[in-house]
Amino acid sequence: MQLVIITGMSGSGKSTVMRVLEDIGFYCIDNLPPLLIPKFVDICEQTGGSLNKVAIAVDIRTGDMFSEVYTTLKGLRKEMHEHLKVIFTEASDEILLRRYKETRRRHPLLEKCNSLPEAIQIEREQLQPLQAISDYYIETSRLSTAQLGEEIREIFLENKTDSMIIKVMSFGFKYGVSTEADLVFDVRCVPNPYYIPELKKHTGCESCVRDYVMSFSQSQELLQKITDLLEFLLPLYIAEGKSQLVVAFGCTGGKHRSVTFAELVGDAIAAKEYRVHKVHRDIAK
């Protein structure tokens, strides 16, 4: 049996994650009290395999019962080992405030707090232990619903081994540094195609921009050094049991240099038979 627990900040995209998992064959339950999760697992195991892929959303909406979730998951981890995965979704305070304003939904803790910012802060503090034990940490502040769905499908759609999925992404520093990245490489040190009139409106996904960026010796040397570093690091991360690694490349606008490096490094890693998912966060801005 494969059990996926979805948790994280209210308004950070858990409902989207649940919808995608349901679409790809998971039996999904929303807001199950933590103490009932082990009992439900026992029921699933008695069905003879008819419920072998289950996703359960657990969050602050369970009220006082939520305090049991950490102990419950720690116990399940000892029993299920690699068959239990925890997804933690996160977003910045600014984004969460904006989402609540747009949807006009009430935060689960609002009645106990003086304001929405206070409710978000208290929830963040209560969720900290779960973030620490999560297998997949997804920062959704700048992800569209489609992009979030693509990430979940990339992780769970295929039959998986224990190997790590590597998310290689590009971003623009002018739109904020990626907070979900494990490794960040600043490639603003190489020549910028933005100042070439015929390249300005193109992106690093196109050969004209890529050829320009890589026509410089410093770009070629930087690419080689980054690739060599990752080839050294990736087996070490896997040996430590890491399920997901996010490698981010940043340039000024997230359209030319960072995209070029993300594409080339992603292809180089994939050629080594690692599971790679490429994302260009700011390419359309």
pLDDT in tens, 147-184: 888 888 888 866 443 347 899 999 999 999 988 899 99
Q: Which residues of the chain are in CATH 3.40.50.300 domains? A: 2-156
pLDDT in tens, 48-80: 777 889 999 999 888 888 888 888 998 998 888
- Which uninterrupted H or E stretch holds 104? none
CA 113 to chain CA mean position, Å: 29
Supply the pLDDT for residue 82: 82
pLDDT in tens, 214-273: 999 999 999 999 999 999 999 888 777 677 899 999 999 999 999 999 999 999 999 988
β-partners of residue 248 are: 169, 184
Alpha helix stretches (DSSP H) within the chain: 14-23, 37-45, 69-80, 93-103, 116-133, 145-156, 207-213, 217-239, 257-270
CATH 3.40.640.10 for the 2-156 domain, yes or no: no
pLDDT in tens, 112-122: 888 999 999 99
pLDDT in tens, 184-216: 999 999 999 999 999 999 999 999 999 999 999
pLDDT in tens, 16-50: 999 989 888 899 999 899 889 999 998 988 887 77
